[in-house]
Amino acid sequence: MTHAQPWTSAVLLIALGAALLLSPAPARAQGAGSCGATGTSGGAIVLDGQFGDWGGQSCIPDPADDCSSSRADLAGFFFATVADDPTAYFMAETFGGSNQTLSLQLRIDTNNDGSYSSAADRIVVVSYKPGKNSSKVDIDVLDGRGEKVAEISRDVDWGESQADGGHRVEWGVSFAQLGIQAGQTMRMTLDSKQGNGGGSGWCDSSQEVQWSPADALGLGLLLVIVLGVAGLAARMRARQA
Ligand SMILES: [Ca+2]
Ligand SMILES: [Ca+2]
Ligand SMILES: [Ca+2]
């Protein structure tokens, strides 16, 4: 019964290829640099107002003194994905810690066509108010025309308290809320200003970056693919027998 052997080899080859394709790989970013580790690179990003999880993640450093408000003067814009988690994570750091509200808008050209203003594009609006020992962070997602897509948070403690410096905030947006598939290339820019939001008067902006967030599809899907291929091989063998 030698005719079964090529199928066995084919299944093994396809399974190996799938394993290689699906193995965790860092999301690609063009133009990203290092802003200096804020901790040890540990894999998972946890939205908890603690920032050690951002060490070693991709980052766009931003110069000092390019905005009249040190509170809104961006120092770094970080972004990351985590294996098996279809979420894009972000973190902003400013030079001046403060009890003042920091407003941010993350503009995302999701379809990478050079325009940020279509229904496919997204604007993530962040309001970060440090309290004495905690913080209040509100996050909303709009489309590129300003129509609301999702409310992500109200009054969550995802920023540094005044006691901890009051100059870093983290958040996450699911791929579904962004309207993207894993691995899709998009462009993005982060704008900042002191005080409450609104669509104008931004003080500082990060350099534009191109990013392909990927969640490195997990073992579950790999197993489904391998079982599917094995099932097909078995049916073909049965047909040939
Ligand atoms: Ca964290
Ligand atoms: Ca700056
Ligand atoms: Ca666009």
> What is the pLDDT tens value at each position of the chain, 241 positions in all?
445 566 666 555 555 445 444 444 444 565 565 565 444 455 799 999 999 999 989 999 999 999 999 999 999 999 999 999 999 999 999 999 889 999 999 999 999 999 999 999 999 999 999 999 999 999 999 999 999 999 999 999 999 999 999 999 999 999 999 999 999 999 999 999 999 877 788 999 999 999 999 986 544 445 555 556 666 677 777 777 6
How far apart, in whole angstroms, are the C-alpha atoms of residue 216 and residue 82? 8
3-state secondary structure of 46: coil
Alpha carbon of 187 to ligand 3 centroid (Å): 8
Q: How far is CA 213 from CA 31, 130, 133, 160, in A?
A: 14, 29, 33, 25
Alpha carbon of 29 to ligand 3 centroid (Å): 18
DSSP 66: S
Q: Do 21 and 220 meet the contact criterion of CB atoms below 8 Å apart?
A: no
Alpha carbon of 47 to ligand 1 centroid (Å): 5
Per-residue pLDDT, 217: 55
Domains of the chain with CATH codes:
1-23+217-241 (no CATH), 25-215 (2.60.40)
Alpha carbon of 118 to ligand 3 centroid (Å): 6
Q: How far is CA 109 from CA 4, 15, 66, 96, 234, in A?
A: 50, 35, 24, 29, 45
Q: Do 60 and 33 meet the contact criterion of CB atoms below 8 Å apart?
A: yes
Give 194-199 contacts, CB < 8 A, sequence gap 24+.
Answer: 194/69, 194/71, 194/72, 194/98, 194/100, 194/101, 194/102, 194/103, 195/100, 195/101, 195/103, 196/101, 196/103, 196/127, 197/103, 197/105, 197/125, 197/127, 198/103, 199/146
Residue 170: other Cβ atoms inside 10 A:
26
How far apart, in whole angstroms, are the C-alpha atoms of residue 35 and residue 74? 12
Alpha carbon of 110 to ligand 3 centroid (Å): 6
Per-residue pLDDT, 43: 77
Alpha carbon of 32 to ligand 1 centroid (Å): 20
**Ligand in closest contact with the CA of 110:** 3
Per-residue pLDDT, 10: 59
Per-residue pLDDT, 197: 74
